[in-house]
């Protein structure tokens, strides 16, 4: 019984610490990039042999001064193959670094798993640049420019 009460106390203490509001000093430079949204890719945007047309994304990441970041990035993209077949691509990424500029432009990067319904690739480097309602996804040097039509990613 004593061991059970000790475990309950430790778990309760951990929960209290985790849920306690953090006081951020004026010198704190931790920022966040969060949100959900959908939109369209620029005409002619290709990911391999898939011509992308639209996307939905959700992300939540904290960016610390100097570049360390933590969070997640998810995107679901729709398009067509060169032969006209519909194709969906998902990107599930773990954010490991990032930056936010003074004019509220943000960059997140990390490692992702990409699945196009046929092939799944793990440990793929990615980055996301956010500037207002514009988003550019970079997957191993393939730049995928897009514009939000609903929602978006907020930089706080």
Please tell me the least confidently modeled range out of 10-14, 74-78, 107-111. 10-14
Distance of alpha carbon 119 from alpha carbon 30, whole angstroms? 37
Q: Of residues 10 and 119, which shows the higher confidence score?
A: 119
Supply the DSSP symbol for 23.
P
pTM for the model: 0.79
Question: What's the pLDDT tens digit per position in 146-155?
Answer: 999 999 999 9
Distance of alpha carbon 46 from alpha carbon 60, whole angstroms? 26
Name the CA dihedral angle for 128, 138, 98, 130, rounded to a multiple of 10 degrees.
-30
What pLDDT is stored for residue 142 in this prediction?
95
Beta strands of the chain (E only): which ranges? 31-41, 46-47, 50-63, 68-81, 86-100, 105-115, 120-131, 134-139, 142-155
């Amino acid at each position: 019984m004593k061991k059970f009460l000790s475990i309950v106390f430790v778990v309760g203490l951990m929960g209290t610490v985790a849920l306690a509001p953090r006081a951020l000093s004026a010198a704190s430079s931790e920022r966040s990039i969060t949100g959900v949204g959908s939109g369209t890719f620029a005409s002619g945007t290709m990911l391999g042999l898939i011509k992308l047309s639209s996307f939905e994304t959700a992300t939540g990441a904290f960016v610390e001064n100097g570049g360390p970041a933590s969070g997640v990035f998810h995107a679901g993209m729709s398009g067509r193959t060169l032969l006209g077949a519909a194709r969906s691509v998902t990107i599930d990424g773990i954010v490991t670094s990032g930056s936010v500029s003074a004019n509220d432009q943000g960059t997140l990067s990390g490692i992702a798993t990409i699945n196009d319904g046929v092939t799944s690739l793990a440990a793929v480097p990615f980055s996301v640049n956010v500037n207002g309602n514009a988003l550019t996804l970079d997957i191993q040097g393939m730049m995928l420019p897009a514009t939000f039509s609903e929602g978006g990613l907020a930089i706080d």
